[in-house]
Chains A and B, each alone.
Chain A
């Protein structure tokens, strides 16, 4: 019987101890796995979201998040100029505002309201009806359609809210052309969209050509970095970032908190796992010192009894580690649901995202756990005095 088989039999002999160890590692492993998914999850899902919009370069006036900072002036003209650059396939300007639409409540429905202009396809997907044309038309998302009880073809009257100080703007009438899905929609958020011109009209007609962001799709042959360089050369006052640079900025900015929290929690949970297994192995070995000394007297090498202990640690951690994956997966789904209730989080953004490197690190950390946890009990069996132990067991 080799060390692994021997360790297996030792575990089966004490099922309560083995279960305690395996379940403990499974719980710790699940947390560890979730921490690893969390540490990169938001960044990965942001990157995915940015890539799925079909644009790979983002132009804004300043470092502020789009919608909260100063506007790009002459955005329409700028967008046309950017679209003509050889490294650029298409470009589109977006402006984010708000609108109030009368509904069955006294205050009306307060909703996001965006305007777009440019050479690219609109950054939304039509679900029903059709896209906006040149007339006074809007597309709205499912939430807005549901709350306003409208379908394509209906007419909506709204008051835009465009500047910081809410001025009373005159109501404007639109036709609902279609129902659309917007990439950055939050689960309960309502969104309306029209052309940049129509939005400017609704905003009082004096802010034509201003936008929060110009989104650019680079030519496949040129790539985003070339497009970034060209746009930046053309408009040195604007802030031009590729998606990759934008994600890096996320990573360096607020999102490092997630990484720091998960590093601390990972260290703490792993320390608990090490302690748990060390204690379980040590207690079990102390109960078996006589047997181990007898095996040594019968000629078992020091390496062999050390291997037995190590294999036990590997089996406990391995079993718990396997269990921890489905457990951690389920836990991540639940936690993701909870975190996504934070207001303003786009429905497509996830906090816990699986990527192969998370699994690799998970396996590596658990493997290290099984080694470190076995060190102390291994020391006990490796330095066990054979004769004294056999004698103590009889005398004591």
Chain B
């Protein structure tokens, strides 16, 4: 499944330049990065330094304007929109700062949604959804709408949704950005558990406490990775 050296992602000198009326803006410049299965990576840096843009490229929603980006060995820039959608559906999970649960669906239906898009059978979907809601500690809230859940609960449903199709890589952009400190801690602990259970993850965060839980911490400035530190 994975690339030549068993990497999920191999980004080599990737850049992302946005042509703007006032001149091109380089959001990400010359980043080289390998993500191996089980990696727990945090990306830190000041606002506007290119964290989200890099994350979106790693998650195949954005393509680099230069450099090469391989996802499980496939050149992402050569894939069609349809193929990249399928790749994201099967192999990548996204967790957003604002959760983006669908308000008209229950927690369980939100978790089922990516599975039905992936044509998983109904019985299998039911089982997987129940298992995931138990995993994030929300089995009793399966039939609740997002509006009936707290912020932390919504983010836990969103994590369950991101894991629905058993992706090898989970990407989270400021997953605790909208949460208070204590709730943020709980989400961080849940993400640790997801990683420990075998899912590689990249978390973009401002929060040093959250970043320190990762094994690899990348510091970005002006679109570049300034340094990488390994923590415990």
Contact = CB atoms under 8 A, between A and B. Distances in A.
Contacts of A47: none
Nearest to B114: A298
A34 B87 CA distance: 52
Nearest to B174: A394
B173 to A, nearest CB: 8
List of 5 A-B pairs having minimum Cβ-Cβ separation, nearest first: A299-B89, A294-B100, A13-B104, A299-B88, A387-B56
Most chain A Cβ neighbours within 10 Å, of B85, B89, B103, B109? B85
Interface in A270-300: 290-291, 293-300
A9 B92 CA distance: 26
A290 B98 contact: yes
27 contacts: A1-B105, A1-B109, A1-B113, A13-B103, A13-B104, A290-B98, A296-B61, A297-B94, A298-B117, A298-B162, A299-B86, A299-B89, A299-B90, A299-B92, A299-B117, A299-B118, A299-B165, A300-B89, A300-B114, A300-B117, A301-B82, A301-B117, A302-B82, A302-B85, A303-B82, A394-B173, A394-B174
Given A386-B56, A387-B61, 20 more contacts: A1-B112, A2-B116, A294-B100, A296-B61, A297-B61, A298-B89, A298-B114, A299-B85, A299-B87, A299-B114, A299-B118, A300-B85, A300-B114, A301-B117, A302-B85, A386-B61, A387-B56, A391-B52, A393-B98, A394-B174
Given A299-B86, A299-B117, A304-B117, A9 B98 contact: no
Contact of B98 (A299, A302, A394): A394
Interface in B100-125: 100, 102-105, 109, 112-114, 116-118
Q: Do most interface residues of chain A lie in helix, strand or loop, or is the interface mixed? A: helix
A296 B62 contact: no
Nearest to A297: B94
A375 interface: no
Interface of B: 52-53, 56, 59, 61-62, 81-82, 85-90, 92-94, 96-98, 100, 102-105, 109, 112-114, 116-118, 161-162, 165, 173-174, 177
A350 B67 CA distance: 75
Nearest to B97: A394
Contacts, number: 84
B104 A12 contact: yes
A108 B143 CA distance: 82
Nearest to A303: B82
B145 to A, nearest CB: 10
Interface string A1-32: 11000000110110000000000000000000
Contacts of B82: 301-303
A184 B53 CA distance: 80
Contact of B100 (A1, A10, A291): A291
